[in-house]
Amino acid sequence: MKFYLDTGNVEEIKRIVKLGLVDGVTTNPSLIAKEGRVFKDVIKEITSIVSGPVSAEVVALDVDGMLKEAHEIAQWAPNVVIKLPMTEAGLEATHQLSKEGIKTNVTLIFSVAQGLMAAKAGATYVSPFVGRLDDIGVDGMKLVRELREVLDFHDLPAQIIAASIRTLGHLEAAALAGAHIATIPGSLLPSLWKHPLTDVGIERFLKDWEKVPK
């Protein structure tokens, strides 16, 4: 499973890139707004740091508007991916962009049917939102598992980006459910590499090391 960082924060990306854990980056309008910077500047800087796919989202709700934004964003870097919402207009724009060879990520997927539609329209990536389904008492990971089965069963090449990942449990379950990619907020990462027994183990080794003749 690939790891994407779900952030618009360039410093965070630079820090995690050093660990070899960044296969790509996803952003959304909320994450970009947090940075207080010009959208184009943020995306261009991220694409210069990360060689993998970097998702940048359109905000228009109509097909012409989406395509206009998408064509502009697609000029910013060769590794940029156009993120579009799961709506009828989003599907039409996704289909058009796929015919033009422009990569797309259809976001805000909350059902198998939505994921299937996006994949059929030609999406490169489909993004089921696990945490937001859990928020309303629905098993978000079941969606990831079933979507993977459906895509494989019908030979659809779209890749699943498990999004809205909030916990270590989400991340591990996404890997087991067959998500091709998990997109993770930087704040979650330490909980992925930390374990109390690792800390205790280091402490014990260092204590014993003091007894070794020097």
Residues that bind ligand G3P (CB under 6 A): 6, 26, 28, 129, 131-132, 163-164, 166, 183
137, two tokens: 């008492």
Residue closer to ligand G3P, measured from CB, 94 or 183: 183
Give the C-alpha distances (Å, rounded to integers) separating 55 from 19, 28, 104, 144, 173: 21, 8, 8, 19, 23
Residue closer to ligand G3P, measured from CB, 47 or 55: 55
Active site residue 142: no
Cα–Cα distance, 58 to 39 (Å, whole number):
11
Q: 139, 152, 140: which is closest to 180 by C-alpha?
A: 152
Instruction: Supply the minimum distance, in Å, between the C-beta of residue 138 and ligand G3P.
Output: 13
Instruction: Supply the minimum distance, in Å, between the C-beta of residue 108 and ligand G3P.
Output: 8
Residue closer to ligand G3P, measured from CB, 23 or 96: 23
Question: Of 18, 40, 83, 142, which one is the catalytic site residue?
Answer: 83
Instruction: Supply the minimum distance, in Å, between the C-beta of residue 31 and ligand G3P.
Output: 6
Residue closer to ligand G3P, measured from CB, 175 or 200: 175
Burial of 27 (0-12, 13-18, 19+ CB in 10 A): buried
Instruction: Supply the minimum distance, in Å, between the C-beta of residue 202 and ligand G3P.
Output: 32
Cα–Cα distance, 143 to 149 (Å, whole number):
10
- For residues 119 and 151, is the Cβ–Cβ distance under 8 A? yes
**Residues identified as active-site:** 83
